Amino acid sequence: MNIAVRSDETNLIDTNGLSRSELMAILERARFYEDQNGLVPPRYLGRFVANLFFEPSTRTRFSFEVAEKRLGLEVLNVSEDTSSTVKGETLADTLKTLAAIGVEVAVIRHSQSGIAEEMAKQNNGVRLVNAGDGHNAHPTQALLDLYTLHKHFGDLNGLRVAIIGDLRHSRVARSNLWSLTTMGAEVVFSGPETMRAPDLEEHAPYLPIDEAIAQADAVMMLRVQLERHREQLFTTAEAYHQHYGLTLERFARMQDHAVILHPGPVNRDVELADELVEHPRSKVFEQMKNGVWVRMAVLERVLEGGKRG
Amino acid sequence: MNIAVRSDETNLIDTNGLSRSELMAILERARFYEDQNGLVPPRYLGRFVANLFFEPSTRTRFSFEVAEKRLGLEVLNVSEDTSSTVKGETLADTLKTLAAIGVEVAVIRHSQSGIAEEMAKQNNGVRLVNAGDGHNAHPTQALLDLYTLHKHFGDLNGLRVAIIGDLRHSRVARSNLWSLTTMGAEVVFSGPETMRAPDLEEHAPYLPIDEAIAQADAVMMLRVQLERHREQLFTTAEAYHQHYGLTLERFARMQDHAVILHPGPVNRDVELADELVEHPRSKVFEQMKNGVWVRMAVLERVLEGGKRG
Amino acid sequence: MNIAVRSDETNLIDTNGLSRSELMAILERARFYEDQNGLVPPRYLGRFVANLFFEPSTRTRFSFEVAEKRLGLEVLNVSEDTSSTVKGETLADTLKTLAAIGVEVAVIRHSQSGIAEEMAKQNNGVRLVNAGDGHNAHPTQALLDLYTLHKHFGDLNGLRVAIIGDLRHSRVARSNLWSLTTMGAEVVFSGPETMRAPDLEEHAPYLPIDEAIAQADAVMMLRVQLERHREQLFTTAEAYHQHYGLTLERFARMQDHAVILHPGPVNRDVELADELVEHPRSKVFEQMKNGVWVRMAVLERVLEGGKRG
């Protein structure tokens, strides 16, 4: 895991290159957009962004698309089925094509870890926002989580965040680790033994789940790829819930002020007890709402980036 | 079949909860939009609608999309292949997500009968327009049929409408039954014995096809799902046409003033003789044109609904 | 091959019906749009175009979509998976439906040769732009190639253009032949023996590849459908490159002023040596850029066509 990758001003590849002041600047702009309820003059009229989602996603693509349209951007959408990738064109050439036809920003979701960084290094003429690459990074998710926590707790220094679940395959865990620790929060990990991630445990401790939950100010449950792991790793979704989920019993042992996060979509009664998804102390749908403000801030940052460079 | 479901002011689930005055209000607004040829000031700029089509459709989705854009709405489109439903997310959570990111209306087409009503009862934070759910309801189709008949005949009181075809699987027949009878029209049904629908025959008589056609002021032919039924129910499309289609011979026995309707897409020479699809007394393409005006009226009703509530 | 087909003023079906003055008019309008960098007042606000792509394409669809949106058009997109064609609706009825709901122009890509012409002859109520039909025609590609050559060379009279590759299956070769010869250029063909096209060789000579390249002012390499032909026609992509590709060796034997074209997407090291794709004498990405200006000009022509008729 290369943690030296920077999200320079014209790309957002991961959170690990963002300084505390850069993170704060994004949170402030997101707050500005939330204060306006997104109803801002469409400042980027006649400028083009392309959403390249090579993995299925409604939630993240729609969140980006709302953010883009609120900024006045013209939006092109492609999903894998209809893309030239079926003709063997490389992603790099697709990006050069987009640049040639006038697209300024590409938002990319792709199953291959590291592809967003690889594309950014090639400088294919279009600015990039990583919307999730394999197990590697999902920076706008981490930023909206950060925004949600910052709005709730204020100063994040010393805040204890437990990230629980399939660590090995989680781009959400990785990107959150970088941004949370940069802001001074204390991250701990938990989840199934078979899903531990040695690379992450170099940066934050792994604890038994009940210990992790008991001491946390915020419990972030990761989505389980049920369709991938059910057979191999545990017998049933119910068994996962009992062993590694936020059950009502575990929720009762959380600190009274502690909140619940989940990147969505939730497998109800797997990662979270059904009753907790919309509990007053759950941030699940507020996270989604905040995603629009954060993505507006990120798109603005990428579009304005490099002007003073 | 529950006919007590209401389309309250903020959702349109079926025609069966709409009073005569509500139906007339929709027809009047549709007429207004037709009179302007759809060229109205885009009053809903910066507001978002999502089209969730979980069954294939070009015609209905495009008709909605034109209506939405003429009203100035920002449009998000999803089809099943790229949606999070492949990850097991429930439709309810998808709707809550849409609400969270700022979508006000969702237009839903889904194969499951009753799902639109079920979603509306849950009140997931987004207003709903049912664009066809299983065999249950297709209210905007019924409303555009009503608009087409009202424009042609004026007062619908006593108008005799024959609805002919695969009644059992037809959401179009169901929604038309409710709106036509509310307006005072007299509905009769016909079609293959194997496709009769006992629930509908509680409300209107079933007649032999030649009798139904001879006495009708309007003959509404239903689409046959050729791909589903061909093997089991009749030997060939030609046989269906001869027994249950509007052949040239049957057309000759229609009343001179009677008109032809079909929700489209037409299987030419199956439900309708090819020559009749664009016959002067066919309303097939006028129905499609009217669909835009009616959907503008429906979207306006749903968006404006509840303001006085 | 019927070369009498005309692209009349309200459709663009192929280049073979366009006179020299019509071609020049399109090039001039494209130049106007390029001079404005596409930032023109959106003159077609509230008017609708539909992109019907029944074959996979990112490049061409996005190029059209950018052109359409720069002109202010409202855009509807359909790809085959979600279209009513799966329900057996004919393309003609789809076009009539589009006309009924207010769509003025349909941009069509389809695997069936001649379908665009067939649809145009039927006059289904919507103006047509052929974005590629089977092996037959791809007029906007030929026009952007013409624009690229005209911008580079000025007068095209006597310009020698070598078109090389899979001639038999190439709509790009066909449409370029008509427009280039109308402008006075001299076309020669080359490529594998098994991919020769007798119909094209009635209009321009077939030469051995090294001879064709040595005498050319412009070398246009055609895309190989690797997925289709690899097994039957040659053993490996490397073998194709050596025998029929623009290798570095062949490039060294080109005239010093000669340029390289390719419609994209390039199979690197198959049609073109990887190093040549972005060589200063390669026009590959400039072609894509020019595609937007040319498509703006074509859409304008089709939308304005017939006004004086």
Bridge partners (DSSP) of residue C215 are none
Subunits with at least 3 CB pairs below 8 A relative to chain B? A, C
**Does the pLDDT value for residue C233 go beyond 70?**
no
C302 pLDDT tier (thresholds 50, 70, 90) = very high
What's the pLDDT score for residue B2? 43
Residues 60-79 of A with CB under 8 A from C: 74, 76-78
A89 pLDDT tier (thresholds 50, 70, 90) = low
CATH code for the structural domain at A139-285? 3.40.50.1370
Average pLDDT, integer, range B171-198 = 97
**Does the pLDDT value for residue C61 go beyond 80?**
yes
| Single-letter residue type at A161 | V
Interchain pair B62, C84: CB under 8 A: no
A109 is known to lie in a ligand binding site: yes
Average pLDDT, integer, range C290-303 = 98
Other CB atoms within 10 A of residue A4 CB: 6
Q: Is C210 on the interface with B (CB under 8 A)?
A: no
What's the pLDDT score for residue B8? 72
Lowest mean pLDDT among A33-42, A112-121, B2-11: B2-11
Residues 13-52 of B with CB under 8 A from C: 38-39
Interchain pair B69, C83: CB under 8 A: no
Most C-contacting residue of A48, A51, A68, A82 (CB-CB within 10 A), to test interface = A82
CATH number 3.40.50.1370 is the correct assignment for the domain at B139-287: yes
Residues 100-119 of C with CB under 8 A from B: 100-103
CA distance B309 to B149: 32
Domain ranges of chain B: 20-138+289-304, 139-287
Average pLDDT, integer, range B201-206 = 97
Q: What is the pLDDT of residues C171-211, one digit of tens each?
A: 999 999 999 999 999 999 999 999 999 999 999 999 999 99
Q: Which residues of A151-182 are buried (b: 16+ CB within 10 A; e: fewer)?
A: bbbeebeebbbbbbbbbbbbbbbbbbbbbbbb
CATH number 3.40.50.300 is the correct assignment for the domain at B20-138+289-304: no
Average pLDDT, integer, range C15-40 = 96
Average pLDDT, integer, range B248-256 = 98
B7 pLDDT tier (thresholds 50, 70, 90) = low
**Does the pLDDT value for residue A130 go beyond 90?**
yes
- The rounded radius of gyration (Å) of the Cα atoms in chain C is 19
Asked if C179 contacts C203 with a C-beta cutoff of 8 angstroms, the reply is: no
What's the pLDDT score for residue B13? 97
A100 closest CB neighbour out of C70, C227, C289: C289
What's the pLDDT score for residue C21? 96
**Does the pLDDT value for residue A118 go beyond 50?**
yes
Q: What is the ipTM of this complex?
A: 0.93
Angle between helices A115-122 and A91-100 (to 10 degrees): 50
Q: What is the pLDDT of residues A190-221, one digit of tens each?
A: 999 999 999 999 999 999 999 999 999 999 99
A100 closest CB neighbour out of C79, C226, C285: C285
Element (H, E) at A230: helix A226-233
Q: What is the pLDDT of residues B276-301, one digit of tens each?
A: 999 999 999 999 999 999 999 999 99
Scan for tokens 């109803």, then name that residue: A39
Q: What is the pLDDT of residues A263-290, one digit of tens each?
A: 999 999 999 999 999 999 999 999 999 9
* Token duo for residue B199: 């629930």
A56 closest CB neighbour out of B84, B99, B103: B84
Residue of A nearest to C274 (CA): A93
C288 pLDDT tier (thresholds 50, 70, 90) = very high
Other CB atoms within 10 A of residue A248 CB: 12
Q: What is the pLDDT of residues A39-78, one digit of tens each?
A: 999 999 999 999 999 887 888 999 999 999 999 999 999 8
C264 is known to lie in a ligand binding site: yes
Which residues does C139 contact at the CB level (< 8 Å), separation at least 6?
A: C7, C12, C13, C14, C15, C130, C175, C179, C298
What's the pLDDT score for residue B231? 56
**Does the pLDDT value for residue C33 go beyond 50?**
yes
What's the pLDDT score for residue B19? 96
What's the pLDDT score for residue B4? 45
Asked if A186 contacts A130 with a C-beta cutoff of 8 angstroms, the reply is: no
A59 is known to lie in a ligand binding site: yes
**Does the pLDDT value for residue B134 go beyond 70?**
yes
Subunits with at least 3 CB pairs below 8 A relative to chain A? B, C
Interchain pair B58, C97: CB under 8 A: yes
Which residues does C227 contact at the CB level (< 8 Å), separation at least 6?
A: A87, A88
Q: Is C56 on the interface with B (CB under 8 A)?
A: no
Which residues does B239 contact at the CB level (< 8 Å), separation at least 6?
A: none
Bridge partners (DSSP) of residue A76 are A50
What's the pLDDT score for residue B86? 42
A93 closest CB neighbour out of C39, C63, C265: C265
Interface size, chain B vs chain C, as Cβ–Cβ contacts under 8 Å: 76
| Residue % of chain C over a pLDDT of 70 | 90
What's the pLDDT score for residue B80? 61
B144: Cα separation from own chain's centroid = 7
Interchain pair A66, B50: CB under 8 A: no
Average pLDDT, integer, range B134-152 = 97
CATH number assigned to the domain with residue range C20-137+289-304, chosen from the 4 options 2.60.40.1760, 3.40.50.1370, 3.40.309.10, 3.90.105.10: 3.40.50.1370
Q: What is the pLDDT of residues A212-265, one digit of tens each?
A: 999 999 999 999 976 665 555 556 888 999 999 999 999 999 999 999 999 999
What's the pLDDT score for residue B57? 83
Interchain pair C74, B79: CB under 8 A: no
Q: Is B175 on the interface with A (CB under 8 A)?
A: no
Q: What is the pLDDT of residues C63-78, one digit of tens each?
A: 999 999 999 999 999 8
Interchain pair A56, B96: CB under 8 A: no
Q: Is B84 on the interface with A (CB under 8 A)?
A: yes
A280 is known to lie in a ligand binding site: no
For residue C21, the distance in angstroms to the closest alpha carbon of chain A comes to 27
Summary mean pLDDT of chain C: 91
Asked if C101 contacts C47 with a C-beta cutoff of 8 angstroms, the reply is: no
Interchain pair A266, B93: CB under 8 A: yes
